Amino acid sequence: MKFNHNDRVTCSIFGTEITDARISINKDGTPHICQNEKNGSPAEDKLGYKYSWTLNNDFAAHGLRDLKLATPTWDTLQWKDIVLDGGGDRRMVLAVSNDMACVSHAEDFETASGWYHKKELQHMNFTIQGAVPAVEEITVTEAEARLGVKIKTD
């Protein structure tokens, strides 16, 4: 599997479970897992973490197990996460403090738009890039009303 710079991941390094980590890719293309648990070779950008662990170009390394993307949620929202506003424009999370998030202007990741409560962002139809969409259960009658068609159920 290929990863991008700043992707949030989970993995195990020599038996230590890493649940808070991100991929950093050096200018020369060398990927690293940035995290606060295992000290390895330094990445050019540790993305705010204490340590980094060097990977090969196939995103593998000795002692590394179960490297996979972590699904972001409003409860795990972090600095540098990307959120999409109601119009689909990308904004970066510039800071998080408890239930508040400071987000950038659309497509301008260096200028703050303001601080918002996470619930307020959700009410304004913001979504987290890479998040799994919520599943909504509806009845056949509700589906017919939304779609404007009759659904055959036999």
Of 69, 88, 108, which residue is a domain's last? 69
> Residues 60, 83: one domain?
no
Residue burial 57-86, b: 16+ Cβ < 10 Å; e: rest: eebebeebeebeebebebeebeeebbbbbe
Confidence of residue 53 (pLDDT cuts 50, 70, 90): very high
> Residues 45, 87: one domain?
no
In a domain, 65, yes or no: yes
Domain count, the chain: 2
Q: Is the pLDDT of residue 137 over 60?
A: yes
For residue 57, give its domain range: 8-69
In a domain, 35, yes or no: yes
In a domain, 101, yes or no: yes
7-44: pLDDT as tens digits: 889 999 999 999 999 999 999 999 999 999 999 999 99
Whole-number pLDDT of residue 102: 96
In a domain, 109, yes or no: yes
pTM: 0.56
In a domain, 1, yes or no: no
